[in-house]
Amino acid sequence: MSPNHILSRLSPDDFGLLEPHLEAVELPVRKRLEARNRRVEQIYFPESGIASVVASGARAIEVAIIGRDGMTGLSVVMGNNERAPHETYMQVAGTGLSMSADDLRNAIGTSVVLHHVLLRYAYAFMIQATQTALANGCGKIEERLSRWLLMAADRVDGNEIALTHEFLATMLGVRRSGVTVAVQQLERAGLISHRRGVITILDREAVEQRSNGTYFPPSDE
């Protein structure tokens, strides 16, 4: 069974509607999964790695992340629009399964239960996005960084997360220098360790405290 949480929780009948169309894919860093205002052609179910959903205008900021807990293509699931509202790309490399958007439309048109399962994920995704908006609007950089590191750790194996300050700056909507200061503060407190391109959480409980109530585990979503 796939490590993707959505696929692993489907009934055999519903998974059988998708399985013939699923193709194993590599998901390298910066791979674009969806382009803003472009028609969604492929659906991705990550099995490892993390994708960022990024809203952009005059500036860019992350509004949600997708790991093995989820999927792309929610505009297809919702059935309201064939175009993606935001950019989605990999920021932590991984692997996954992919299928065409047309095949997904056919499957959810066949099974009401399958459609309801995917809509439940869409609802959880919406909650995550609203929590991110709250954290971005009210949280200090250190709190937001702590929250993001915890969310990333929930979606990878272990507490080691491969990413750069440049990525984090976009994710948090701040200058790179602000990310550097926040990383140094957590490192000096002994909560994380940092080497080029990799951050490791050393004291998860303390990092949760530093998030100051902005972090919620995926189960709460």
Per-residue pLDDT at 167:
75
For the ranges 41-55, 87-101, 121-135, 168-182, which has the lowest average pLDDT?
Answer: 168-182
CATH class, domain 5-135, is mainly beta
Instruction: Quote the pLDDT of residue 128.
Output: 92
Which of residues 22 and 181 earns the better pLDDT score?
22
The Cα 47–Cα 73 span in angstroms is: 16
Q: Is the pLDDT score of 75 beyond 80? A: yes
Place of tokens 């994380």: 192
Whose structure tokens read 């990092």? 207
Instruction: Assign domain 139-210 to a CATH class.
Output: mainly alpha
CA distance 94 to 164: 16
With beta carbons less than 8 A apart as the criterion, state whether 29 and 44 touch: no
pTM of the model: 0.91
**Mean pLDDT lowest for which of 37-46, 68-77, 78-87, 187-196?**
78-87
Q: Tell me which H or E stretch contains 61.
A: strand 60-66
Average pLDDT, the chain: 90
Mean pLDDT value across residues 2-30: 96
Residues 182-205: tens digit of each pLDDT: 888 999 999 999 888 889 999 999
Our separate counts of H helices and E strands in the chain read 9, 10
pLDDT at residue 121, as a whole number = 95
Q: Looking at the chain, which residues constitute the CATH 1.10.10.10 domain(s)?
A: 139-210
* pLDDT tens digits, one per residue of 124-135: 999 999 988 888
Summarised one tens digit per residue, pLDDT across range 52-71 is 999 887 778 889 999 999 99
Please give the pLDDT value at position 180.
Answer: 84
Give 143-170 pLDDT, tens digit per residue.
989 999 999 999 988 888 887 777 777 7
| pLDDT, greater one: 122 or 172 | 122
Q: CATH 2.60.120.10 spans which residues of the chain?
A: 5-135
